[in-house]
Structure 1
């Protein structure tokens, strides 16, 4: 008759210690942003807002507002309002700012959430319609007088 061996159950594995925290690399501090403003959930597709934003980027604020006033795209009016808000933020910022020397330093347009709706179609079907939104961020810079 074969002899059966009884094995003792293994001990529970001891909990491992968490790995040591990684040392942060010395990164240069990001420069403080200049006067800026943001607009969230604009109900215009980002592709259409970028067409207008590309025309305004890098311009002086006065020239940009004048151009937006006569631009027929639907995104022009909210972008003009956003620029005026950034100029007001620059004036309230504390330091002396020459409003005539301000220019559009960065202007980014990101995609916001999509509102999904359904459109009735023939024979009881429904097609999905996506109403896109945009998030817009503008930062102004000061042109050096020379």
Structure 2
């Protein structure tokens, strides 16, 4: 690796050390269904978001709730203190498409219809309110 790329890589690593996030890969639901849940909690305070996810009737909300708890735990581990109400919020949450399992379903007259079983990747960033304003 060249010096310029090495310096850029170390700068990215240092920037990631100050950011708390959690990532969930290969969730077996479609990205469209997961984005409905992600849009519901984007920008919310974390404990309010946990309550919203707990009482949501979407199946994807269970996975996002677990991911949010993981992101809070990561923030607590990096800052060596417990999160307080009103302090943390979801700075960004992204849902990207994952791998697609392609299956065939029998159709009339010897044909086959393709079924695409979609998956997604969810990345959730947690930050304090005063860090985002600077």
TM bucket normalised to smaller: 0.7 to 0.9
**Alignment partner of 1:141 is 2:127:** yes
Aligned to 2:52: 67
CA contact (8 A) 2:88 2:126 kept: yes
Residue 86 (structure 1) aligned with residue 55 (structure 2):
no
Q: CA separation in 2, counterparts of 1:35 and 1:99? A: 15
TM-score (norm 2): 0.81
2:98 aligned with 1:112, yes or no?
A: yes
Query: 5+ unaligned residues in a row in structure 2: which ranges?
Result: none
Which is richer in helix? 2
2:121 aligned with 1:131: no
RMSD of Structure 2 on Structure 1 (CA): 2.0
Is the partner of 1:49 in helix, strand or coil?
helix
Q: TM-score with structure 1 length normalisation?
A: 0.74
SS in 2 for 1:73: coil
In structure 1, what is the Cα distance between the partners aligned to 2:72 and 2:81?
12
- Correspondent of 1:121 among 103, 107, 115: 107
User: 5+ unaligned residues in a row in structure 1: which ranges?
Assistant: 1-20
Change in Cα spacing, 1:54 to 1:115, as seen in structure 2 (3 Å) is: same
State the alpha-carbon separation in 1 of the partners of residues 84 and 37 from structure 2. Answer: 22
Cα deviation per residue 1:107-127 (whole Å; 9 max; x = unaligned)? 000000100011111122110
- Is the CA contact 2:44–2:89 (under 8 Å) kept in the aligned structure 1? yes
Deviates more, 1:95-104 or 1:35-44: 95-104
Q: In structure 1, what is the Cα distance between the partners aligned to 2:109 and 2:93? A: 46
For 1:33-44, what aligned pairs fall within 5 Å after superposition?
A: 33-44=18-29
